[in-house]
């Protein structure tokens, strides 16, 4: 199958397929006489794997590590579990940061009644204050 068909079947764009090839996540395909990329079922399965990992918000290094484990015929899934546990830790940290941001936005929202003239809006005034350097 050509790149457009592979992209369609995996729900991504052809430039995404090329990007994953360039990053070494997807092996280079065969080429037709006309120099078109020709993909097979193994490419489809691998790209589906990559897309599913991306849907879980795994970064390319995490995906690369998982692919290395599968390509290396890892004897068991212990390392896979370790990698996933690390990813869960990253997601937990992200959730914590998002919850702190949510609390900050809610506190900011309390500074405005909605009926105040814009030049007296507490939200606008707060956002106009000099930013506090992050730690």
Instruction: Kindly report the CATH number assigned to the domain that includes residue 5.
Output: 1.10.1660.10
Q: Is the pLDDT of residue 135 over 70?
A: no
59 shares its domain with 33: yes
pLDDT at 129: 86
Q: Which structural domain range is residue 79 located in? A: 75-113
Work out the angle between the directed axes of helices 14-22 and 3-10 (0-180°, nearest 10): 100
56 shares its domain with 97: no
64 shares its domain with 83: no
The residue with greater pLDDT, 68 or 114, is: 68
CA-CA-CA-CA torsion sign (97, 102, 56, 1)? negative
36 shares its domain with 97: no
19 shares its domain with 65: yes
**Residue 102 counted as domain residue:** yes
Under a CB-based contact definition with an 8 Å cutoff, are residues 62 and 85 in contact?
A: no
**Greatest mean pLDDT among 89-93, 104-108, 114-118:** 89-93
Structure confidence by residue, pLDDT tens digits, 4-57: 999 999 999 999 999 999 999 999 999 999 999 999 999 999 999 999 999 999
Q: Is the pLDDT of residue 97 over 80?
A: yes
Q: What is the pTM of this model?
A: 0.79
Structure confidence by residue, pLDDT tens digits, 45-92: 999 999 999 999 999 999 999 999 988 867 788 999 999 999 999 999
Distance CA 26, CA 63 (A): 11
Distance CA 56, CA 87 (A): 9
């Amino acid at each position: 199958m050509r790149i457009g068909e592979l992209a369609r079947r995996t729900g991504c764009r052809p430039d995404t397929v090329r990007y994953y090839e360039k990053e070494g996540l997807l092996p280079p395909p065969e080429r037709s006489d006309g120099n078109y990329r020709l993909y097979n079922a193994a490419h489809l399965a691998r790209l589906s794997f990559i897309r599913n990992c991306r849907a879980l918000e795994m970064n390319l290094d995490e995906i690369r590590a998982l692919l290395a484990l599968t390509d290396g015929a890892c004897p068991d899934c212990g390392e896979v579990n370790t990698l996933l546990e690390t990813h869960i830790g990253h997601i937990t940290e992200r959730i914590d940061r998002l919850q702190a941001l949510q609390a900050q936005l809610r506190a900011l929202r309390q500074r405005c009644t909605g009926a105040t003239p814009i030049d007296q809006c507490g939200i606008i005034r707060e956002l106009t204050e000099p930013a506090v350097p992050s730690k």
